[in-house]
Structure 1
């Protein structure tokens, strides 16, 4: 049989295999390649690598765009707003102190979550074979 036939069968089998979503998201959260879990996913703070240096998985297909920022705002807002309300009603601190402390906390939590959520979002795209992640490595 011609070589093209075998490659087409291999591609069909690869498309039928399930990629574990939970494992991929955990690897992405750790900022590791969703395919192998060993290579670094990001180059710098938020820049996704073109490909994994360990397994060679192409990562340039990702389209995270503004999703991680929206998720970060959503999570940080839902965590900090009730805490601010509780602190203010319980201890009644000076508004300037309250604003200063919670501004630092909000920025720190945002900086912590942003690259991890980006990694998880890229991993979801990889696991669900979105945006060109559907082919073989």
Structure 2
């Protein structure tokens, strides 16, 4: 008596998308599918369709995620730095404020579009928010 085991769930019709390559392409602000076309037009606006592979990207729902992650990363980098600089050298408060304000602004401006691209890449790889409906 042999029994064949049957799966109760049908096979997943959506193709597998690798997470880490999609995150890396998004970090570089490139299309998560082809990696060649631009992901952003301007500073933070996601293009509706990739100009190279025609992948629809308007499904993304990045919302406040990139801003939250940017604040989290910048705070975790600059807070220990602020403590070390203050306790080691005791600079003038205005000098300390100026240096860390410029640093926080520069780091935030660098990270924000890259984190937005990574979040769009994550959503694309995980078939979230309409990306699953595509072949």
TM-score, normalized by the shorter chain, greater than 0.5: yes
Higher relative helix content: 1
Q: Alpha carbons of 1:60 and 1:73: their partners in 2 closer, same or farther (altered >3 Å)?
A: same
Find the residue that maps to 2:133 and give its secondary structure.
coil
TM-score by length of 1: 0.88
Q: How does 1:18-97 map to 2 (within 5 A)?
A: 18-97=16-95
Moved beyond 6 Å, runs of 4+: none
Q: Taking structure 2 as the reference length, what is the TM-score of the superposition?
A: 0.90
CA RMSD of aligned residues (A): 1.5
Structure label with greater radius of gyration: 2
The separation in 2 between residues aligned to 1:37 and 1:14, in whole angstroms, is: 25
Deviations 1:19-76 (A, max 9, x none): 0100000000000000000000001000000010000000000000010000000000
Counting matched residue pairs gives 126
**How much does 1:15 deviate?**
3.5
Cα deviation 1:74-124 (Å, max 9, x = unaligned): 000000000000000000000100000100000000000000000000000
Unaligned runs of 5+ in 2: 1-9
The question of whether the paired residues in 1 share the 8 Å contact of 2:14 and 2:132 is answered with: no
